[in-house]
Amino acid sequence: MSLSLYVMVGFRRNQLESNEAALKYFLLGAFASGFLLYGIALLYGATGATDLGRIGDFLGGSPLGRDPLVLVGGLLVLTGFLFKVAAVPFHMWTPDAYQGAPTSVTGFMSAGAKAAGFAALLRVLLRALPSLAHDWQPLLAVVAMLTMTVGNVTALLQNNLKRMLAYSSIAHAGYLLVAIVAGNAEGSAAAVFYLAVYSAMNLGAFALLTMLGRGGDEPVLVSDLAGLGFRQPLLGLALTLFMVSLGGIPPTAGFMGKVLVFGAAVKAGLVWPLVVVGVLNSVVSVYYYLRVTVALYMRSPEGEPVALSLNVPAVVAIVLTAAATLWWGLQSQGLWLAAQRSVSGLL
């Protein structure tokens, strides 16, 4: 997965920005893969297995669960996965890679790659390392709070839309970690639910950005959207929907995702400081998401209006993701039950 992403980020070979992003992503990704593989080797050395279920059974019924080899191996594996999901302090590749990659690739990375990383992280923690939960839960709680705060505060300062959504993606990784830290069945199901709704609203936002163009360049500044809500009412409405959902405002799927994530953490007794920090960060995030809406409807365009490149795949993607964002916000029970079924085999 990583090798294909390195290639896709540098797909525009004639653009220096794309080449730079791919090289940075490759170097940091190779370094993180080294942590992951070395951690797997240490866990194999301690347990004699690479199968997740067998590792979990061995550590659950053995006094070797406190073996330093196991603890260091688990920490290294966790480090590798935290890089994959762009959690602080392993997040610095994200804005450069998102900005340098083609917008369609950025959308795929923000949804597909993140979902795969969290799916793997969930499987490892719930199947292989549940006996070490008292070690990794406090660590992930700190990482979650840092990830939410750094992602949202830095996104406030961005005028480049792709970089803003990159830091937004970091913040959402923090929300997902809150669900994982809960350590219960409801938290795991909430993480899966949140992954689904986040993927829908983020893919929709990036699909819309692929339709905007001025010559051969991709306009990625907030100011480029000035007045677009009146020139292209349907596109403006769709982008507003995605921004509102990313901010967690009802009646969208993003709101239901945050309700379930924070609800699972509350039931696990993590109100202070984890849930409090998460809710405060959600409030902060509303500011930079609504900046986009303000540009769409309350700013006059400067210079030439942004050209629009209508294409069938992007239109279909926007329609489907907008429908999912609204439907899962109003009727989330079906997706919630599916998320619960999906994690039942891991617990």
pLDDT digits (tens, 9 = 90+) for 211-249: 875 545 565 788 888 888 888 899 999 999 999 999 999
For residue 131, pLDDT over 70 is answered with yes
Encode burial over 194-220: b for 16+ CB neighbours within 10 A, e otherwise: bbbbbbbbbbbbbbbbbbbeeeeebbb
Identify the pLDDT of residue 311.
81
pLDDT(199) > 50? yes
- The 10s digit of each residue's pLDDT in 173-195 is 999 999 999 988 899 999 999 99
- Structure confidence at residue 215 (pLDDT): 46
Of 245, 268, 240, 270, the residue nearest 258 (C-alpha): 245
pLDDT at 280 over 70: yes
User: In the predicted model, what is the mean pLDDT of residues 158-173?
Assistant: 93
Residue 257 and residue 140: Cα distance in Å, rounded?
A: 19
CA dist 108 and 115 (Å) reads 10
Q: What is the pLDDT of residues 24-61, one digit of tens each?
A: 999 999 999 999 999 999 999 999 899 999 999 888 87
Please check whether residue 102 is in contact with residue 22, taking contact to mean a CB–CB distance below 8 angstroms. no
Q: Between the CA of residue 145 and those of 26, 135, 176, 263, 346, what are the distances in Å?
A: 27, 17, 11, 16, 26
Residue 128's closest CA among 86, 70, 176? Answer: 70
Q: What is the pLDDT of residue 65?
A: 65
pLDDT at 13 over 90: no
pLDDT for position 197? 96
Residue 67 has pLDDT above 90, yes or no: no
121/222 Cα distance (integer angstroms): 34
Q: Is the pLDDT score of 344 beyond 70?
A: yes
Long-range CB contacts for residues 36-42, cutoff 8 Å, separation at least 24 = 36/76, 36/77, 36/79, 36/80, 36/81, 37/80, 38/76, 39/72, 39/73, 39/74, 39/75, 39/76, 39/77, 39/78, 39/79, 39/80, 40/73, 40/77, 41/73, 42/69, 42/70, 42/72, 42/73, 42/76
* Mean pLDDT to the nearest integer, 123-135: 89
Among the listed residues 175, 160, 204, 166, the one whose alpha carbon sits nearest the alpha carbon of residue 295: 160
Helix (H, G, I), strand (E, B) or coil at 93: helix
pLDDT digits (tens, 9 = 90+) for 259-274: 999 999 999 999 989 9
SS3 14: coil
Alpha-carbon distances, residue 73 vs 44, 66, 83, 129, 184 (angstroms):
9, 12, 16, 11, 23
- Number of other CB atoms surrounding residue 180 within 10 Å: 24
Neighbours of 246 (CB within 10 A): 28
**Distances from the Cα of 244 to the Cαs of 185, 240, 284, 285, in angstroms?**
28, 6, 13, 10
Amino acid occupying residue 209: L
**Mean pLDDT in residue range 85-113:** 90
Inter-residue contact 265 to 176 (CB < 8 Å): no
pLDDT in the model for residue 335: 95
Q: How many other CB atoms are found less than 10 A from the CB of residue 307?
A: 11
Q: Domain spans of the chain?
A: 2-344
Sign, CA dihedral 289-193-176-109, equals negative
Q: How confident is the model at residue 132 (pLDDT cuts 50, 70, 90)?
A: confident
- Give yes or no for residue 98 having a pLDDT over 70: yes
pLDDT digits (tens, 9 = 90+) for 296-312: 998 877 666 666 777 88
